[in-house]
Amino acid sequence: MPIKILSVDDSRTIRLIVGRSLRPYDCILCEAANGEEGLAVAVREKPDIILLDVTMPVMDGVTMLTKLKEDPELKAIPVIMLTAESGRDNVIHIARLGVRDYLVKPFKEDQLIDKVGRVVALKKKETAAPAAASVPI
């Protein structure tokens, strides 16, 4: 069964990079552009993991994470924060909120896969079997 991953980021670029990184793996990617949309998608899709940006309009990542942890149906979903802010206090702050891990932007795609792979079992998609060779009668 494919892993269901929710990417919450106001930047379409980052969501696209996340999708591109995960393309070789057997997973379903859901997307949301802010925390409010992210909560709605989380309720509907029950993802296996959430990749969550911090600074977003409408509802930021910290608020979404707080609401997620208050919801008995959603609080067990592991969250990896994607943040452009690597400061010591910021890291301590988001760690206290109960995130599984965090990834600082800028990041390489293999760093993202490494972090996600430590939380959920990512499996490479099976490649299609080669077409049968034609055999002369």
Binding site for another protein (CB under 8 A): 10-14, 16-17, 20, 55-57, 83-90, 105-108
Q: Which of 40, 58 has the CB closer to another protein?
A: 58
Supply the minimum distance, in Å, between the C-beta of residue 16 and another protein. 6
Residue pair 104/83 in contact (Cβ under 8 Å)? The answer is yes
Minimum CB–partner distance for residue 73 and another protein (Å): 29
Nearer to another protein, 75 or 108 (CB): 108
The tokens for 73 are 């149906």
Give Cα separations from 38 to 13, 72, 108, 136 (angstroms): 17, 16, 24, 57
Helix extents (H) in the chain: 12-22, 35-45, 61-70, 88-96, 109-119
Closer to another protein by Cβ: residue 19 or 78: 19
In the complex, least distance from residue 78 CB atom to another protein, rounded to whole angstroms: 23
